[in-house]
């Protein structure tokens, strides 16, 4: 093994996964993009990415065509489809009303208590128009910011679309975030309007949300919010301030089901979404109408191979980017049926997902590793009672999926017949960037290769590509249509965060390696790397080694100082049922990790926990564990999941 000194900045790849899965011929022969076409398209997109994206843009409707596909005259402030006029809602909704999609289900929603609502494209169109008119009556128009603080409800989708339809800008805040997190985001965006609910159901309880909005607004320093719209959902006490608050039902009651769709410039802002860095205040990631719709439409159609009769279920909350791109906009742009579930995935018991797949005949299931691992803990008992035979494709996103969870998901949920699309992307990228396609050869734990039209690489600190097997910094070397345009109110921070290390090249902030076949393996966030005796090791690898032991359900690893080695690993572990934390088990686990990864993976101590601190989107917050370990300030905790919920 090379010492770090020979290859500064490189990351040691300790875990090697040899398994390879070939797609079944049935999947291959029905794929929208055949294997031989994929190779050809990837090649020609490499030679001329703008032609590739222009062709993708032609699949959507524009009020006026672009003069230029990409304006790169002022990097890193790239502009796409300049001169064009469009509105993403025209493509996601209005145009379907003229086609056979009109009477097709757009949304299947299920509340946690078991209540359901189904909306056809036509019904959704009418609801969106009524709210669009209601928003206009409140004085909301082009460019105004609207904060959406809602659980997954049909009204949440309606709100995003109505806001975008009138050319206003939505900024979603997870319903699990605190009053302070909400207040900071409202102030930063100077939002004129907040849309929320009285409350919602989570884990068998009605959670009051309106009171959190009231708390946020009492001390809001800018006084920007003029109105609050409240959806009636959970029959909980909501105090209405008559000069500011209005019930959603009262607002839309007398509105017409027809509304004009605002004509937007391709580059006009569509939404803001705050994402938290390890330090500093959350970053307001800006996305715009034209490029975002092109990127999301193409990637969803291709990666998940959408067919006209498909029922698509992405389990993400609408309030984060996966929800924006692949619960709301992507499926509707594609004219498919999207499933939305309000509540906790284990409520009332651990078969809720399987029951939803069974009852609606879900064809594509897209989820996150942390949920897959959580469900794995229950074994296959809950799967047996449900018919999952409608499933054709599976997906994963959000963090590296450890091969054990990959194989379990593929085998027990996907009957070893459903290809698993491990999609790498970010709030900032807006769309899938690195992912297999249904025809790809799959290696569990690898995100495969960059999609057509996307150029990524793995570089060392000096900006040289690292050799196969060595880790380095993941970069995107060419602009892409759905890229972040800037950070709201902070263009300098945008340049500094993503574009300053290698000028003209996007720094993703992840460490990764490529193998001999050019497959990419994400090893975690660059901030989370351990340096043990000079070897740089991704936390994800050590965690994956832990989870491959039968006793371990979840693991989070941080580095702690060590006199001899500089740093060693400390692990926080959640055990599976039936295993007891004792010194014997700790020895066994330490030995197991050493066997899996080699002697460099020194685990100094293991702490057993019932839960781990995570973001609402399911990512483990290692910096919180570090802060606890070292008795330091926890920094920005606004994205931390409220465990009571």
Q: Considering the complex, what minimum distance in angstroms separates the CB of residue 482 from ligand WT7?
A: 11
Whole-number CA gyration radius for the chain:
24
Contact between 14 and ligand WT7 per CB under 6 A: no
98 upstream amide cis, omega within 30 of 0: no
> b vs e for 269-288, b when ≥16 Cβ sit within 10 Å of the residue's Cβ?
bbbbbbbbeeeeebbbbbbb
* Interface with ligand WT7 (CB under 6 A), residue from 508, 555, 568, 574: 508
Among residues 321 and 339, whose Cβ is nearest to ligand WT7?
Answer: 321
Using the structure block, give the residue that is written with the tokens 């009285």: 198
Q: Which stretch binds ligand WT7 (CB under 6 A): 193-201, 327-335, 383-391, 505-513?
A: 505-513
* Interface with ligand WT7 (CB under 6 A), residue from 482, 617, 638, 639: 617
| The pair of three-digit structure tokens given for residue 299, joined into one six-digit string | 């990637």
Q: Considering the complex, what minimum distance in angstroms separates the CB of residue 189 from ligand WT7?
A: 18
Q: Under 8 Å CB-to-CB from 166, ≥6 apart: which residues?
A: 132, 135, 136, 140, 141, 142, 259, 262
Subset of 392-421 contacting ligand WT7 (CB under 6 A): 397-400
Distance of CA 58 to CAs 66, 67, 266, 485, Å? 11, 13, 14, 22
Among residues 478 and 525, whose Cβ is nearest to ligand WT7?
Answer: 525
Q: Are strands 393-396 and 420-422 parallel, antiparallel or unpaired?
A: parallel
What gap in Å lies between CA 142 and CA 384, rounded to an integer?
51
β-partners of residue 561 are: 567
Using the structure block, give the residue that is written with the tokens 């946020």: 216
Contact between 422 and ligand WT7 per CB under 6 A: yes
* Interface with ligand WT7 (CB under 6 A), residue from 109, 360, 424, 498: 424
Among residues 228 and 321, whose Cβ is nearest to ligand WT7?
Answer: 321
Task: Spell out, one character per residue from 445 to 464, where the chain touches ligand WT7: x when CB under 6 A holds, - when not.
Answer: --x-----------------
Q: Which stretch binds ligand WT7 (CB under 6 A): 88-96, 425-433, 496-504, 580-588?
A: 425-433
* Interface with ligand WT7 (CB under 6 A), residue from 33, 148, 321, 558: 321
Task: Describe the chain by its helix, strand, coil percentages, rounded to 5.
Answer: 30, 25, 45
Q: Considering the complex, what minimum distance in angstroms separates the CB of residue 12 from ligand WT7?
A: 18
What gap in Å lies between CA 72 and CA 573, rounded to an integer?
47
β-partners of residue 246 are: 229
Task: Spell out, one character per residue from 429 to 448, where the chain touches ligand WT7: x when CB under 6 A holds, - when not.
Answer: ------------------x-
Q: Considering the complex, what minimum distance in angstroms separates the CB of residue 203 from ligand WT7?
A: 23
* Interface with ligand WT7 (CB under 6 A), residue from 4, 68, 190, 426: 426
Cβ count within 10 A of residue 172: 27
Chain centre to alpha carbon of residue 65: 30
Contact between 510 and ligand WT7 per CB under 6 A: yes
Contact between 427 and ligand WT7 per CB under 6 A: yes
Q: Which residues bind ligand WT7 (CB under 6 A)?
A: 275, 321-322, 397-400, 422-427, 447, 508-510, 522, 525, 617
């Amino acid at each position: 093994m090379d010492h770090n000194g020979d290859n500064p900045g490189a990351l040691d790849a300790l875990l090697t996964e040899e398994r390879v899965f070939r797609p079944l011929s049935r999947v291959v022969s029905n794929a929208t993009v055949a294997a031989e076409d994929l190779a050809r398209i990837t090649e020609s997109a490499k030679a001329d990415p703008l032609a590739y994206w222009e062709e993708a843009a032609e699949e959507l409707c524009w009020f006026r065509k672009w003069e230029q596909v990409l304006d790169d005259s002022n990097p890193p402030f790239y502009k796409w489809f300049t001169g064009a006029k469009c509105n993403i809602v025209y493509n996601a909704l209005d145009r379907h009303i003229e086609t056979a999609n009109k009477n097709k289900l757009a949304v299947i929603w299920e509340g946690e208590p078991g209540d359901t609502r189904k909306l056809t494209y036509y019904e959704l169109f009418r609801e969106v128009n009524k709210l669009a008119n209601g928003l206009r009556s409140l004085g909301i128009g082009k460019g105004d910011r609207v904060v959406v603080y809602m659980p997954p409800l049909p009204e949440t989708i309606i709100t995003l679309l109505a806001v975008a339809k009138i050319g206003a800008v939505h900024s979603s805040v997870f319903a699990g975030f605190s009053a302070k997190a909400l207040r900071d985001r409202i102030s930063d965006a100077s939002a004129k309007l907040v849309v929320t609910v009285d409350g919602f159901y989570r884990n068998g309880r009605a959670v009051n949300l309106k009171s959190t909005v009231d708390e946020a607004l009492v001390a809001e320093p800018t006084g920007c919010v003029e109105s609050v719209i409240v959806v009636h959902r959970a029959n909980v006490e909501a105090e209405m301030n008559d000069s500011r608050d209005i019930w959603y039902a009262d607002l839309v009651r007398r509105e017409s089901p027809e509304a004009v769709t605002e004509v937007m410039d391709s580059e006009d802002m569509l939404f803001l979404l705050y994402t938290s860095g390890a330090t500093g205040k959350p970053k307001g990631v800006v996305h715009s109408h034209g490029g975002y719709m092109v990127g999301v439409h193409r990637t969803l159609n291709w990666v998940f191979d959408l067919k006209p009769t498909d029922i698509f279920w992405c389990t993400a909350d609408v309030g984060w980017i996966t929800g924006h791109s692949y619960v709301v906009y992507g499926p509707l742009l594609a004219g498919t049926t999207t499933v939305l579930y309000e509540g906790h995935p284990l409520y009332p018991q651990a078969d809720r997902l399987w029951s939803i797949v069974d009852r609606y005949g879900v064809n594509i299931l897209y989820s996150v590793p942390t949920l897959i691992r959580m469900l794995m803990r229950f074994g296959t008992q809950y799967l047996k009672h449900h018919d999952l035979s409608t499933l054709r494709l599976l997906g994963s996103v959000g963090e590296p999926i450890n091969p054990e969870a990959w194989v379990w998901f593929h085998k027990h949920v996907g009957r070893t017949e459903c290809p698993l699309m491990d999609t790498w992307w970010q709030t900032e990228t807006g769309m899938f960037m690195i992912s297999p396609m249904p025809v790809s050869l799959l290696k569990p734990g690898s995100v495969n290769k960059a999609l057509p039209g996307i150029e990524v690489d793995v570089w060392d600190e000096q900006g040289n590509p690292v050799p196969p097997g060595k880790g380095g910094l993941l970069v995107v070397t060419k602009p892409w249509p759905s890229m972040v345009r800037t950070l709201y109110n902070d263009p300098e921070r945008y340049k500094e965060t993503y574009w300053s290390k290698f000028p003209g090249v996007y720094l993703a902030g992840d460490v990764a390696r490529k193998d001999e076949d050019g497959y990419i393996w994400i090893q975690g966030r660059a901030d989370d790397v351990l340096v043990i005796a000079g070897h740089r090791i991704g936390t994800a690898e050590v965690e994956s080694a832990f989870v491959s032991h039968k006793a371990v359900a979840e693991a989070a690893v941080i580095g702690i100082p060590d006199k001899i080695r500089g740093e060693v690993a400390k692990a926080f572990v959640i055990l599976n049922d039936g295993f007891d934390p004792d010194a014997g088990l700790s020895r066994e686990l330490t030995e197991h990790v050493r066997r899996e990864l080699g002697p460099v993976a020194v685990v100094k101590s293991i702490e057993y926990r019932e839960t781990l601190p995570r973001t609402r989107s399911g990512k483990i917050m290692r910096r919180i564990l570090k802060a606890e370990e070292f008795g330091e300030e926890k920094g920005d905790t606004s994205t931390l999941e409220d465990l009571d919920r």
